[in-house]
Amino acid sequence: MSTTVAVIGLGIMGAPMAANLIKAGFEVIGYNRSRPKVEALIKAGGRGADTLAEAVAAAEVIITMVPDSPDVEAVTEADDGILAGARNGALWIDCSTIRPDVATRLADAARERRLRPLDAPVSGGEAGAIEGTLSIMVGGEAADFEAARPVLDAVGGTVVHVGPSGAGQTVKAANQLIVAGTIELVAEALVFVEAHGVDPEAAVSVLAGGLAGNRILDRKAASMIKREFQPGFRIDLHHKDLGIVLAAAREAGVAIPLGAHTAQLVQALRQLGHGDLDHSALLLLVEQLSGRGDR
């Protein structure tokens, strides 16, 4: 394929996504604030850009994967950013998780610059990014979505157009609501069975095969049982995402009582100094509240 894809942000998610694009035959140019990430991309067969402007100008497709709304605004609206430097007709696919209203505003600004914007946040964590099996929820024009399908299919296993600009971020907010609540319930269940002297691995094996089965049990339970919380998705980021959920729910007048309580638990764990751990570390808070943990 001759299409050049610029990937802006080569972190836990962006780097493996860029690697999968290279494997799929795209020419990939990467930009990251820290140079070692760019050097790793070059070793994987990509090209490195020294500046944001260089990466943006070289690409027919631009993917942004940065932490938060202000970061997307910065790479989009900067003097050397996407709006200023992208070529007419370029596809801009924002895979970050940001506020739906910000996604909509930036999409409108991009269209004024004759760009084709899509908000396409992803779910699946680091493992999904490495495996190329991410679930991608896409907001934007249907024709732009179809044009972006080859790129999206190279990094995702489930790719769905969910509506106009901002819809992708709305669905991602719902995703983060479900994921946080499920992790909390899995954590409570594990502490509960252990407190009764039941082998948690045996418990998980049967729970996963019944109506309680879910992706969190499949992907997170084993490491939770071992108390291994190397971040695939940090508490700090899920705290940010739940802030997006709460704000969007308030704006729409929607009650999310369990989600609001889970957001408080995530915030409490973060304030205890565990923001850099994986979000499955909610188990530590359940243990502490139960008087069973050392941390």
163 torsion bin: left (phi>0), alpha (psi -120 to 50), beta (else):
left
Between the alpha carbon of residue 255 and those of residues 60, 99, 251, the distances in Å are 42, 18, 11
Cβ–Cβ under 8 Å, residues 119 and 138: yes
| Active-site annotation holder among 172, 220, 226, 240 | 172
Can 23 be counted among the known catalytic residues? no
Record the tokens describing residue 90, joined without a space.
Answer: 């370029």
User: Residue 37 — φ and ψ, nearest 5°?
Assistant: -65, -35
Record the tokens describing residue 99, joined without a space.
Answer: 């506020």
Q: 159: which residues sit within 8 A by CB, 6+ positions away? A: 135, 136, 138, 149, 152, 153
Q: List active site positions.
A: 172
